[in-house]
Structure 1
Amino acid sequence: MKAGKMILGILSGAAAGAAVGMLFAPKKGADTRKRIADRSNEYMYETKSKFNDLADNLSHRYDSVKSKMRNKSKKMEASLDGDDKIIY
């Protein structure tokens, strides 16, 4: 989790630096504010998209592991049921 926080901090700092840089740019305030709003919307869309991709990936991995564990459990039960039939 530390790497995630570090990346989030770097991205937040870069976004803040870009916003401050655009505020001091020699353009009209309305144009600058529109650029800031557009960029922030782009970043939010990209972030949501990446988060959804990550969530889907984790969900698929979870389902895969869950399925494998069920199969192994069934195999173990079958092998144990077979051991009960041994006649001494």
Structure 2
Amino acid sequence: MAKDSNTIIGILAGTAIGATLGILFAPDKGSKTRKRIADEAALQKERLASTAGDIKDRVVTEAELMKDKVASTVGAKKQTLDEQLDHLVTDASYKADDVISKLELKLKQLKEKNKKYHNGAGTKATS
């Protein structure tokens, strides 16, 4: 972007210097010199407008490319995040099932111990 600004400044400076030198060293009459200056100014105006249009087009194109790249990157990151979240939920579900199974086994063991304890205590009390 700075390169384009320098180009525009260079064109303007060149036009001003050229017009000044043309007036100072003009071998022609004033009317011819003024016409030449007007023609050169019109030419430089067209060049400047063309350069500005080119710069605008490049900026718009670059902005669109960057927008597409950002959208693509964000989409990919979102997909990756969704996949990681699904994987995490699946893992948590399996781990929860494991924990529940172990707790059920432990509860069953405790019930058996409690049943043996009650059966053994009941026979001692009736004897």
Bin of the TM-score, shorter chain as denominator length: 0.7 to 0.9
| 1:20 maps to amino acid | T
Q: Is the 8 A contact 2:19 2:37 kept in 1?
A: yes
Structure 1 gaps of 5+ residues are: none
The offset of 1:51, in angstroms, is 1.2
More helix by share: 2
What stretches of structure 1 move > 3 A for 4+ residues in a row?
1-7
What number of residue pairs does the alignment pair up?
87
Structure 1 position 74 matched with structure 2 position 75: yes
Mark the CA change 1:71 to 1:60 in structure 2 (over 3 Å): closer, same or farther.
Answer: same
| 1:28 corresponds to 2:29 | yes
Q: Percent identity?
A: 30
Q: Which runs of 5+ in 2 are unaligned?
A: 92-127
Q: 1:6–1:85: structure 2 CA closer, same or farther, 3 Å change rule?
A: closer
Aligned partner of 1:18 in structure 2 is 18
Compute the RMSD of aligned alpha carbons. 2.5
**Aligned residue number for residue 106 of structure 2:** none
Deviates further, 22-31 or 49-58: 22-31
Amino acid at match of 1:28: K
TM-score, length basis structure 2: 0.58
Q: CA deviation at 1:17?
A: 3.1
Residues 2 and 70 (structure 1), Cα distance of their counterparts in 2 relative to 1, 3 Å cut = closer
Task: Choose between structure 1 and 2 for higher RCO, CA contacts under 8 A separated by at least 6 residues.
Answer: 2
User: Residue 15 of structure 2 contacts residue 44 of structure 2 at CA under 8 Å; is this kept in 1?
Assistant: no
* Equivalent position of 1:84 in the other structure: 85
Query: Which structure has the larger Rg?
Result: 2
Residue 75 of structure 1: how far off its partner (Å)? 1.1
Give 1:21 deviation, angstroms. Answer: 2.7
